Structure 1
Amino acid sequence: PRASAAARRRRARVVALAAAAAAVVLALGWAVLRGPLRRQPALDLSTYAVFPFRHAAGVRNAWLDGDGCARKLQDAMSRWSDVRVVDGMRVSDLWARKEPHTVPEALDAARSLSAGRLAWGEVFPAGDSLEIRAVAYEVTKPTQPTRQFVIRVGPSTASLDSGFMALADSILLGGNRDRDHAETATKSLRAWEQYDAGRSALDHFDLRGAEQRFRDAIAIDDAYPQPHLWLARTLSWGGDAKPTEWRSDAAHALALARVLTPRDSMHAVALLHLADGRMREACASYRSLLATDSLDFAAWFGLGDCNARDTIVVRDARSPSGYSFRGSYYTAVLAYRRALALVPSYHRAERGAAFQRLSRRVLFTEENITRRGAALLPDTTAFTAFPSFAADTLAFVPLPYRLNALPTPPATERDAVRWSADTYRQLMEDWVKAFPSSADAQGGYSAALETSSAVSGSSAPIGDALAAARRAVTLSATDSARARRTAAVVRLLLKMDSLPVARALIDSSLRRWPTPDPHQAGYLATMAVLTGRAHLGATLAARAAADSEHVPFVTLTGRRGVYPLPVTASALELRIYASLGGPRDSIRAAFMRTSRQIDTWIPPAGRADARQALFRNAMALAYDPFMGRAAPTVRAGPDQLFTMREALAKGDTAATRAASKALALSAARFLPGTMGTDRLYHHATVLLALGDTTAAVAQLDATLAALPRVRTILTEVPPQAGAVGRAMLLRAQLAWRTGDRPTAERWTRAAYVLWSDADPELRAPIDTLRLQLGLAS
């Protein structure tokens, strides 16, 4: 009995488990069967369901009924290659089974057809014509506000075709059919959408965003001319692209000009002339455009470009040198100013960077800057010219370029610089008045006031420049912009002799951004150098290697060197240590590390050129005989400081004195502050090495006195920043040696403000002076 009872219990458990398993299987099967019944069909927002139109008040027309309206609209929408329309047979089937009568019913019907959008409407009689009213719905958003599109058509085939094409385009494009009829030039809705987004980006002066959208449109439909034209135009307006970079797009637009407006075709011709270097023909095209519309911003801008970008030098018997530039910078300035007067918001493009590039191209706001040119091929003569000024006109007289013998600046160069600085200030005033809440406008206005102060020698504008620079920092939207503009505030504080405030701002900036992006890092590296922190500066400079703005290396032929990131980063570290003259072990280590990186990353054929570009400046700043032995192919070229350092190391005092005299004569031609602070400081050290202490003292006094007028690169270029504290320290040391205690105390205190937390090896001489003067506490 016990066994039979146990057996019955086991059988009961088996039956129960089997029943449970069966229940699970049934449940799973029901779920599997039920899933497809409940799952909603996937909706495609690029698919339209077009339903037969209703007739108002039941009125029907003999030549076009509701089904005919749907068919005409379906055909018109199908012209777009990436728009899908639900098969009319499927719609007819749905209509036959259950015709929807309300909007919710119609949306459910469209959803059942997997359509993400619905077009439906009504037909109204209007005399001998019909008024067609259509509404587009997004199926997933039934409560979203809708827009009604209306056309009127007659019984002719042409009227019907054009009317329904217009209706389809209005529905698909959202009514945006006013950009040069560009929608008629492509069959791709996606291409049109990208093009229209590019034009919208330009409306907000977002050149980078517009460029990308136009490229996206071209990638979708390469035979679409408008994106090609506007991409070429956008690249020209940005100011940093070479004309050859937009040649292909200008050529494409011109090849497809049959669907461009006549005026756009003329613009395409002018842009192609620019790209091919036919500047004279480009100017003629832009003048023709302006003859029929004097308010054409693009034509005025183009007229400025064809003059500013024309580097050709031609023979000219009327010129003092027998040569003249074919393009006129003066005309370019006037044309650009006219364009900016028509569209002041252009200043906002790329946060002001586009305008800055534009102004640097034609406005010479500092001395010792030349315009370069070349003869027409096959003549390969290169030319250079300083700006001059006569009869209220900016001019350039080109002379053949010789590497080791730059021409002497004309007597009116300073007048030309003043005119350019004044023009720049006026443009910035217009900008800041139009956009007082723009960080870029405030920053540009500050820079213009600073330039005006440097050129005029008046310190009056500096206070206003500082106030504008601080407003620019406050209004900045990104940390990169804040770091860049903070560097400008630091520089202005130095010019106002507010060293403690400048130092405090540097310290807070370095604490605020401990892991900066490459753009920030370049400015922070210079701040670190200004305060004598070589190791921190080197770390930041290496981080900045990924940002081309902070990569300064140029070959003797004037080419900008572009090298692998490890090479660039190591060379920038070397530059920081050389800018501060130490620590000596760090200079040597960085030099050898850069040399190894060159050997690792650069093919043998390019290594000599790379060493020339990467080592020349460091060897001029911190020459050591081991550098000459390690890199014997590096030559000084026209660099007088390098020449002096090398000759001095070799004991050739005659060559040192000759180069020293040449540098002194060169510096004497310019306004105070124009010659780099680093050049003047290092020249003073050479004078000391030659035993001319009096000349060295005079040089240092002039260097420090010129700080209020120093160039804007002071807080952008590490060698400039490094020379400030070193000049103060050396002047204090010389004053101590000659018993001039007031001067020694003055510059020791100033140097200590900047370098109180400098690297120990660099700070040691200041600590010694403070002990000698009894300033240590």
Structure 2
Amino acid sequence: FENVTGAADIAWLRDASVNLLYLDMSKWQDIRVIDDERVADFIREVPEARGGAPLTLQSGIAVARRAGAGKLVMGDLLKIGPRTQVVGKVFDVKTGLRVRTVRQDAATTDSIMSAFGQLARAVLNVAPPAGTSLGSIGTGSVSAYQSYMIGVGFLNRWMLDSARTAFGRALALDSSFALAHYKLATVYGWQTPNSEEGPRHAALALRYGAALPQRERNLLLGAAALTEQRYAEACSVFSRLLAADSTDVEAWYNLGECAYHDPAVVPLAGDTTRFVFRSSWNLMLKAFRHALELDPTSHLAFQHIQDALLTRVRQGCRLPPGVERCGSTGVLFEGVLQRDADSLLIAPVSLATSTASRSEQLVAAQRQGARRANLEAARQVAEEWLRAGPGESRPRRAYARILLRLGRVAAADSILRGAGTGIVAGESAGYVQDRIEAAIKLGNPALAGSIADSLLRALAGAPPNQRNAAVILNATFGKVRDLDEMIRLSTPGQELARRYFTLQVRAILGVPSDGILPLEDSLARSVVGLQDAKRAAVTLAGSLLFLEPGLRGGRWPVADTASTDPRIALVSHLARSDRARVRSALAGYDSAAAERQNEPDGGLALVGALVHLAVGDSIGALRLLRRFHDGSWALSPIGDQPATGFGFEAMLWPRMFLLLGDLEAAAGRKDQAAHAYRMFIGFWQHADPELQPIVQRAREALTRLGS
């Protein structure tokens, strides 16, 4: 609909008119109406529309033919004094001839939406279905509707904070506006998925949406199931919508959402020894890709393709009968992402009984290069996203993250520095984390620490769950007091666990503390009593692997030389105090580490170096740390977890540089030693007072080198 008179106060109707007419015409269930979002997808491909020119009849007919429509409605908007006249022109798509022209006047702004209801009846030239209320799109407030349409635009461009504000404004004007509740539930699902606000707004949308067309009511029904984590039910609703209309972008998007999030694991063909995920990530990828084929600007659909392809494992649980959500009642499963040609291959295995199978999957994925293949697939999708939204920051950030994972740090950093909006809370925290990682890997940990500190200060006063990522990032730079508080809040009523994990973090950082040893003993006995030694070794891995072996005095609370985790198996051999077996195990470990040089490190180099040093082999330790520095470090994500608990990959890096400096200095390589010491000091120069003696030692070592 063209704003013929150019009146500014009805300019918003140029796009909104398609939505208004669609919502009313869809109430006739014996005709199919192409929804406004699909119409917008088609029009985006018309050259004159991209330039802002009015759509010609010839182009309109071509669009209608592409959509498979039999009739086309085009129209004009005219402002005549206080009145707004809406003119609808109906064309036969096959002949291109005008069938009829209909007009409807709106005396005031508030009567515009009811005018479109009458226009819909005139366009179709038939009486509405019995009991149907035309002109009722869920709100009688033009201002609420305008805010809603603004919010939809923000949401589709991933401007979540702005979208939430716009939908909130719409609901402040009309609290019973079902479509605004529905879209606001989507925003909460992305921003705060564990909040009760998403399910609350989805339920309100369903409650107030009874008068909407059938398609919209089904979307609300599926959304309510999705926000309440009834994923199988949600997928069923969206599949039915697609059976009715295979070009429904919103149904494809939501089918991808429920398939991505569903964690349920079920027996394969009734065989309780073999399991599959109830939903397929290949279906998820297909759904999101279909949505993008129909609407290349759908930013929301791009995101979960990235999320899936950048992860290494899919997590899930086997749910007891009648239970819909994973939790303490579910048996936890993981499946490593492998490849089968162009498809993903994910077989869930129980973490309680099948750790060997999981390790076999990791080895198989490594040998087939699954991680790099998935990253390359993600890169291609990100490039499509960039082409669809060249002026948007979100696709640039996503592309930069993939480059980081591929080890192309300088290229990622260049994009990140041009794609940000400063240090703010909420949806840009992930971007800040990537900036920190890039700065560290480009040799500037001091800058990275400054960014991390700014992020934490920007989140001052935010709920703890929103600050956790920033707290963990700051621990990398030797600021652990906030992490101590985070651990306390995460372990209510579990004093032993709180004390252990507080000291476990320090063991990971390389801060000497023999106070952890009695806590290890107590926790190991508890886990062994409830489960077994294998589970105890996994639970205590953070300290078993990363506490300096020399601090133990031979005290090892548990060992598992048969562990499928090569790091645990190696330190377990060390615990047996058999030097010959340790050296034999180290030879195999070093060989496996060399094969993994194009994979993320995951603490492999540091564990190996510590064990080499424990048997007096500084050359072997130095070799592993150099290989880390020159290779696997670039591929190691800052947020990976090397062990159970509160420790993360980047927390290992400062101590690794300190150790590398010591070993390079002992080998007489002063320049390399000086570089390593400077990196360590850059990390911890503003660390908490309890860590400053270690920083001072590094400064003194640097001085001795003459640097």
Q: Same fold (TM over 0.5)?
A: yes
Measure the CA separation in 1 of the matches of 2:661 and 2:161: 50
Residue 474 of structure 1 is matched in structure 2 by 418
User: Could you tell me which amino acid in structure 2 is paired with residue 304 of structure 1?
Assistant: G
Measure the CA separation in 2 of the matches of 1:616 and 1:733: 24
Q: Which residue of 319, 323, 328 corresponds with 2:280?
A: 328
Task: Map 1:246-257 onto structure 2 (within 5 A).
Answer: 246-257=198-209
Residue 338 of structure 1 is matched in structure 2 by 290
Shift of 1:194: 4.4
User: Could you tell me which amino acid in structure 2 is paired with residue 268 of structure 1?
Assistant: L
Measure the CA separation in 2 of the matches of 1:344 and 1:747: 50
- Taking only the aligned residue pairs, the percentage that are identical comes to 19
Measure the CA separation in 1 of the matches of 2:272 and 2:337: 14
Moved more, 688-697 or 261-270: 688-697
Residues 150, 167 of structure 1: 8 Å contact kept: no
User: Structure 1 residue 643 and structure 2 residue 589: aligned?
Assistant: no
Residues 274, 306 of structure 1: 8 Å contact kept: yes
Residue 324 of structure 1: SS of its match in structure 2?
A: strand
User: Could you tell me which amino acid in structure 2 is paired with residue 473 of structure 1?
Assistant: R
Residue 376 of structure 2 is matched in structure 1 by 422
Residue 318 of structure 2: SS of its match in structure 1?
A: strand
Residue 712 of structure 1 is matched in structure 2 by 637
Shift of 1:733: 2.6
User: Could you tell me which amino acid in structure 1 is paired with residue 359 of structure 2?
Assistant: T
User: Structure 1 residue 661 and structure 2 residue 569: aligned?
Assistant: yes
Residue 730 of structure 1 is matched in structure 2 by 659
TM-score, with length taken from structure 2 = 0.63
User: Structure 1 residue 227 and structure 2 residue 174: aligned?
Assistant: no
User: Could you tell me which amino acid in structure 2 is paired with residue 262 of structure 1?
Assistant: Q
* CA offset digits 1:638-697 (Å, max 9, x no partner): 342412439864423675795753468899488337455656325523542454435423
TM-score, with length taken from structure 1 = 0.58
Q: Which residue of 207, 210, 225 corresponds with 2:160?
A: 207
Name the larger-Rg structure.
1
Residues 297, 343 of structure 1: 8 Å contact kept: yes
Measure the CA separation in 2 of the matches of 1:382 and 1:435: 39
Could you say if the C-alpha distance between residues 187 and 745 of structure 1 is closer, same or farther in structure 2, counting changes exceeding 3 Å? closer
Shift of 1:431: 1.8
Residue 506 of structure 2 is matched in structure 1 by 618
Please provide the CA RMSD for this pair.
4.9
User: Structure 1 residue 408 and structure 2 residue 408: aligned?
Assistant: no
Residue 271 of structure 1: SS of its match in structure 2?
A: helix
Residue 408 of structure 1: SS of its match in structure 2?
A: helix
* CA offset digits 1:332-386 (Å, max 9, x no partner): 0121122233333333x6xxxx954x246422x354x342222342684332221
Task: Map 1:248-647 onto structure 2 (within 5 A).
Answer: 248-317=200-269, 322-347=274-299, 355-356=302-303, 358-359=304-305, 361-363=307-309, 365=310, 367=312, 369-377=313-321, 380-402=330-352, 405=355, 407-410=358-361, 411-414=363-366, 415=368, 416-451=370-405, 453-454=406-407, 462=408, 466-467=410-411, 469-480=413-424, 488=434, 491-492=437-438, 499=443, 502=444, 506-507=446-447, 516-518=454-456, 548=465, 551=468, 576-577=477-478, 594=484, 605=493, 607=495, 610-611=498-499, 614-621=502-509, 622-627=511-516, 637-644=538-545, 645=547
Residue 443 of structure 1: SS of its match in structure 2?
A: helix
Residue 135 of structure 1 is matched in structure 2 by 81
Residue 338 of structure 2: SS of its match in structure 1?
A: strand
Shift of 1:300: 0.9
Gaps of 5+ in 2: 1-77, 89-101, 121-132, 323-328, 525-535, 562-566, 572-585, 686-691
Residues 250, 268 of structure 1: 8 Å contact kept: yes
Residue 703 of structure 1 is matched in structure 2 by 628
Measure the CA separation in 1 of the matches of 2:156 and 2:487: 46
Shift of 1:328: 0.3
User: Could you tell me which amino acid in structure 2 is paired with residue 423 of structure 1?
Assistant: A
Residues 428, 441 of structure 1: 8 Å contact kept: yes
Residue 746 of structure 1 is matched in structure 2 by 672
Residues 663, 673 of structure 2: 8 Å contact kept: no
Could you say if the C-alpha distance between residues 402 and 286 of structure 1 is closer, same or farther in structure 2, counting changes exceeding 3 Å? same
Gaps of 5+ in 1: 1-131, 137-146, 153-161, 455-461, 522-542, 553-567, 579-586
Shift of 1:190: 5.7
Could you say if the C-alpha distance between residues 194 and 408 of structure 1 is closer, same or farther in structure 2, counting changes exceeding 3 Å? same
User: Could you tell me which amino acid in structure 1 is paired with residue 319 of structure 2?
Assistant: A
Residues 494, 708 of structure 1: 8 Å contact kept: no
Could you say if the C-alpha distance between residues 286 and 604 of structure 1 is closer, same or farther in structure 2, counting changes exceeding 3 Å? closer
Task: Map 1:101-120 onto structure 2 (within 5 A).
Answer: none
Shift of 1:307: 1.5
Residue 33 of structure 1 is matched in structure 2 by none
Measure the CA separation in 1 of the matches of 2:452 and 2:256: 43
Could you say if the C-alpha distance between residues 763 and 692 of structure 1 is closer, same or farther in structure 2, counting changes exceeding 3 Å? same
Residue 551 of structure 1: SS of its match in structure 2?
A: helix
Shift of 1:619: 4.0
Residues 729, 748 of structure 1: 8 Å contact kept: no
Measure the CA separation in 2 of the matches of 1:647 and 1:729: 17
Residue 317 of structure 2: SS of its match in structure 1?
A: strand
Shift of 1:271: 2.0
Residue 529 of structure 2 is matched in structure 1 by none
User: Structure 1 residue 198 and structure 2 residue 148: aligned?
Assistant: no
User: Could you tell me which amino acid in structure 1 is paired with residue 554 of structure 2?
Assistant: D
Residue 20 of structure 1 is matched in structure 2 by none
Measure the CA separation in 2 of the matches of 1:768 and 1:646: 22
Shift of 1:260: 0.5
Residues 244, 276 of structure 1: 8 Å contact kept: no
Shift of 1:232: 3.4
User: Could you tell me which amino acid in structure 2 is paired with residue 371 of structure 1?
Assistant: Q
Could you say if the C-alpha distance between residues 205 and 384 of structure 1 is closer, same or farther in structure 2, counting changes exceeding 3 Å? closer
User: Could you tell me which amino acid in structure 2 is paired with residue 386 of structure 1?
Assistant: V
Measure the CA separation in 2 of the matches of 1:276 and 1:757: 43
Work out the number of aligned pairs and report it. Answer: 545
